[in-house]
Structure 1
Amino acid sequence: MSKGDSLVIGNLQCVVLDCPDATGLARFYRELLGGEVNRPDRRWAVNDDFATLHTGAGLVLAFQRVADHRPARWPDGEHPQQVHLDLDVPDLDRAQEQALGLGATLLHVDPRGWRVLADPAGHPFCLLRG
């Protein structure tokens, strides 16, 4: 293999978020991103402990129930983010208002023009002007 060639070991199947309520968090992200919760898919068995969201953009998010889930506390290193999503939005104020209405929590308004929120399970996500 020459310099510059890359070896692909696999393809991203989905992003999995730990949470206390798999279906509830899948529904939260459906309202935020659109898509279909628990669409039949041979790759996953969905149940009370595992839910999926197939978005219109083709991204699949999965949600796994963890009984002793400890939410992140942004930016506290003792409870790190572990994963977060960046969402491009046309109107930051409107997107923030809608996300808060769905159960998100505002964590930070950055003076450079983006917002950090947490989903109902405590996972941080950012709203950026798209």
Structure 2
Amino acid sequence: MIGKLQCVVLDCPDVGALARFYQSLLGGDVNRPDRRWTVDDGFATLHTGDGHVFAFQRVPGHRAPRWPDPAYPQQLHLDLDVEDIDLAQEQVLGLGATLLRTDPAGWRVFADPAGHPFCLLG
């Protein structure tokens, strides 16, 4: 092993809004004091209860991904296990996500408010 994951960083136009979106989805603390990062209007963090850290970096002129269009690449995506996929879909749509695709196998692809795709797996 060369290293371990410190955090996952998502580019976006509004760091606070996207941090709060993922806080509503995953729980945790937005901008919890952490010596590794300085948070400001261009950078925010989310420390989840299970120990994961997400960071949100403001990018002027951010181009949102358009899954699955390779001209607008994903930049990253997350797979999230859920107990009740229908309830989870209702909740993420209420938080501002957009449904992109329902797969015949049962999982669903969404875009977060900044356009990053993520999947719900039941």
* TM more than 0.5: yes
Correspondent of 1:106 among 99, 103, 107: 99
The answer as to 2:69 corresponding to 1:80 is no
Please, what TM-score do these two structures have when normalized by structure 2? Answer: 0.98
The answer as to 2:25 corresponding to 1:32 is yes
1:125 maps to what in 2? 118
Which amino acid in the other structure matches residue 62 of structure 2? Answer: H
**Matched residues, number:** 122
User: Residues 50-74 of structure 1, C-alpha deviation per residue, up to 9 Å, x if partnerless?
Assistant: 0000000100000000011000001
Provide the aligned C-alpha RMSD in A: 0.5
Q: CA deviation at 1:10?
A: 1.6
Contiguous gaps of at least 5 residues in structure 1: 1-7
CA distance in 2, matches of 1:121, 1:12: 23
Where in structure 1 do 4 or more consecutive aligned residues deviate above 3 Å? none
Helix, strand or coil: the match of 1:28?
helix
Q: CA deviation at 1:100?
A: 0.3
CA distance in 2, matches of 1:11, 1:112: 32
1:3 maps to what in 2? none
Please, what TM-score do these two structures have when normalized by structure 1? Answer: 0.93
Structure with greater Cα Rg: 1
Which amino acid in the other structure matches residue 91 of structure 1? Answer: D
1:50 maps to what in 2? 43
Q: CA deviation at 1:9?
A: 1.8
Q: CA deviation at 1:121?
A: 0.2
CA distance in 2, matches of 1:82, 1:123: 7
CA distance in 2, matches of 1:120, 1:84: 13
Contiguous gaps of at least 5 residues in structure 2: none
The alignment-based identity, stated in percent, is 75
The answer as to 2:42 corresponding to 1:17 is no
The answer as to 2:88 corresponding to 1:95 is yes
Q: CA deviation at 1:88?
A: 0.2
